[in-house]
Homo-oligomer: A and B are copies of this chain.
Amino acid sequence: MTQPKSDPRVLRTRRLIMDSFIELSAKKEFKDITVKDITTEAMINRATFYYHFEDIYDLLEKALSEVLLVNLNGDFYKNDKLDEEAFVSIFLAVTNFQKSLSNRCHRGYEDTIARIIREQLEIIFYKMLVKQNAGEEDEALKLNAVILSWGIYGASVEWKRKGIDVQPEEFIKPALPYLLSGIEYV
């Protein structure tokens, strides 16, 4: 994992690349986007791309993570504790994210996207659990975060399967007790 650099040049270049990629994603499918397209749009050298990203899949991963994180942070980070309201708004963020993706047509990468979403959820849950239960054993919190992330992600998949006519709130609220049964530190 690359540690976050603070050099302005790095931040600027990564932003240019990310924005260009998201821009292009709105026009083409992922499979038709080349590294050359991105670097041309971003007006940076192609070699510079490889300085920051393994390849185009690495970029996809990081771009998706970022977009999802923006979605998540906007909403629920205000009250800082994992109550019912927090779970509902996290679930809403995830389902909104899935909807916006299906517009952008990243077909053929559902499993990649799934993994990214779940990993990000795990990170978020772990952070919130640490805040809420300061001083607890790390491993136990980590395990809880894993379970919660799989649970919420599974719920979003199930919601998707049911079709868009079901409101996410109405779907998740009755399911929450089941998801939380067996969770220690919430």
Contacts and interface: CB of A to CB of B under 8 A. Distances in A.
Interface of A: 8, 12, 43-45
A90 to B, nearest CB: 32
Contacts of A12: 43
When all copies of this chain in the complex are counted, the total is 2
Contacts of A44: 8
A9 to B, nearest CB: 9
- What 4 A-B pairs have minimum CB-CB distances, sorted nearest first? A8-B43, A12-B43, A8-B44, A8-B45
Contacts of A45: 8
Nearest to A12: B43
A29 to B, nearest CB: 28
A51 to B, nearest CB: 14
4 contacts: A8-B43, A8-B44, A8-B45, A12-B43
Nearest to A8: B43
